[in-house]
Amino acid sequence: MRKLFTLLFALCVTNFIFAVSLTVTGSFPDNSWNNSKLDYLMTEIESSGVYMLEKILPAGTYEFKVFNTGTWDGPGTGENRQIVLSAEKTVKFYAKMNGSQILFFSDAQEIYVIGDVVGGWELAHAKLMTNNAADATYTADVVGGAYKLIVKDNAGAIIWNDITPDNMTVTASGNHTIKLDFASFAATATANGSTTPALSAISNSYIFVGQSPESATWYNGSATYQTENFNGKNLGSVTTPVYLGAEITTAPVLEGVVVKMFIQVNDLAVKEVVLPHNSDNGTESSKWKSTTGTNVFTDYSLVRGETYQIKVWFNANQGETTLWDSNNSANYIATFTYDLGTDVEMLKNDFKIMTNDGLRVILGSKSIVELYNISGQRIHSDMYENEFVFKPESGVYLLKINGVAVKVAIR
């Protein structure tokens, strides 16, 4: 009899130790972070393993977490979760155990879809779901790939694992409804009709600095074909206008895709440059490449001798889908010192020579203008009146005007 009593006692103690007992704890008027308050104890929904608590709360902003009753064993790291009520509301809290981890959320929280399916894993790409009586849904054209359902903490940062600790998957691109069933924690993605191809990738970005793609220096953006990276590059003293262009790849080959490069110096106005279509690789991918450089300095008022940042990033848009190539939202950033106007500006006889944007000569009278390379080969000769403008490649040249020779350096 004693052995039987001992066995029953041990079983009862074991069940007591490992029993799930979850409590909502927070800054509610009648709780004040009491982690063992009985009227905040959660109740299991029909042996489902999901626990629920329903409370009527007045308008206000509340912070909360879910803990094992009487302990502080709960979500572990991370700031408090938050709900904001504009009026009195019946709020439901849901929780379940995932091993030793507590998954939990409230139907009054903002719940988001984030991941490859909606353009990226940064908070800027997260899509707000619509909270209904029994679920939260998001319906849109999405890209096949991975996603998670996330909430934000009281500081607005992403909480990754409260709802879907593992990545979920949409198997094909097209219009889908992504749904979170509150009572089961089930996250599903259901296709609405037949799926259609959609923009799925933007990658392999390169950035050029120079007067044209033919004479430019090419740098790596997200790709690694070039020897140098644009990001972190110091372009040094800049005495002529900086022209930027780019090449980037999208997949698959689709109609209606628009690809843009964005340029910004420090925190000045952002410039948008549409990259023209260049070529297709069958049906797999498209290449977009600028054919002329964009003058970075146009419409900017910069101070000579100051050091600046050039920020570059890209996006591709097709319908509801927008994908970004932005160095994980940090942008591709090079630096330079603005020294425009400090290059050669000479007054010789009755002509004036300027080399701060190619070669420009102001002529006092009709003149014969000749241009030679450093080897003495004549590359241009003609009669000009008023002005002579020429944009040769960088190098040292011999300029003759009515027989008067001047050596000029073009950068």
- CATH no. for residue 378? 2.60.40.3080
Residues 266 and 219 in one domain: yes
Q: Find the CATH number of the domain harbouring 220.
A: 2.60.40.10
Sign of CA pseudo-dihedral 114, 116, 117, 122: positive
Residues 291 and 252 in one domain: yes
pLDDT < 70 stretches in the chain: 1-19, 76-77, 194-197, 211-214, 341-350, 411
**Structural domain includes residue 152:** yes
Residues 139 and 162 in one domain: yes
Contact call for residues 83 and 64 (beta carbons, < 8 A): yes
**Structural domain includes residue 96:** yes
Q: How far apart are CA 58 and CA 44, in angstroms?
A: 25
Residues 330 and 399 in one domain: no
Residues 95 and 173 in one domain: no
Specify the pLDDT at position 283.
79
Exposure string of 241-271, with b = 16+ CB inside 10 Å and e = fewer, is ebbbbbbbbbbbebeebebbbbbbbeeeeeb
Residues 180 and 241 in one domain: no
Specify the pLDDT at position 8.
43
Whole-number Cα distances in Å, 8 to 4, 5, 102: 6, 5, 29
**Structural domain includes residue 196:** no
User: Residue 171's domain spans which residues?
Assistant: 112-191
Domain boundary among 310, 338, 366: 338
- Contacts (Cβ under 8 Å, ≥6 apart) of 38: none
Specify the pLDDT at position 334.
97
Specify the pLDDT at position 5.
45
Residues 12 and 127 in one domain: no
Residues 207 and 307 in one domain: yes
Domain boundary among 317, 338, 359: 338
**Structural domain includes residue 149:** yes
Whole-number Cα distances in Å, 167 to 25, 29, 120: 28, 36, 13
**Structural domain includes residue 6:** yes
Smallest Cα–Cα separation from 359: which of 292, 411, 294, 296? 411
Residues 130 and 8 in one domain: no
Residues 80 and 206 in one domain: no
Residues 91 and 19 in one domain: yes
DSSP assignments along 297-345, one per residue: TTT----TT-EEEEEEEEEEEETTEEEEESTTTT-EEEEEEE-TT-S-E
- Say how many C-beta atoms besides its own lie within 10 A of residue 161's C-beta: 16
Angle among Cα 231, 410, 205 to the nearest 5 degrees reads 25
Q: Which amino acid makes up residue 135?
A: D
pLDDT digits (tens, 9 = 90+) for 76-116: 667 899 999 999 999 999 999 998 899 999 999 999 999 99
**Structural domain includes residue 75:** yes
Specify the pLDDT at position 362.
83
> What is the C-alpha end-to-end distance of the chain, expressed in Å?
100
**Structural domain includes residue 376:** yes
Per the structure block, which two tokens stand in for 343? Answer: 């290059």
- Number of structural domains, the chain? 4
Contact call for residues 305 and 342 (beta carbons, < 8 A): no
Q: How far apart are CA 147 and CA 150, in angstroms?
A: 10
Residues 319 and 389 in one domain: no
Domain boundary among 45, 75, 106: 106
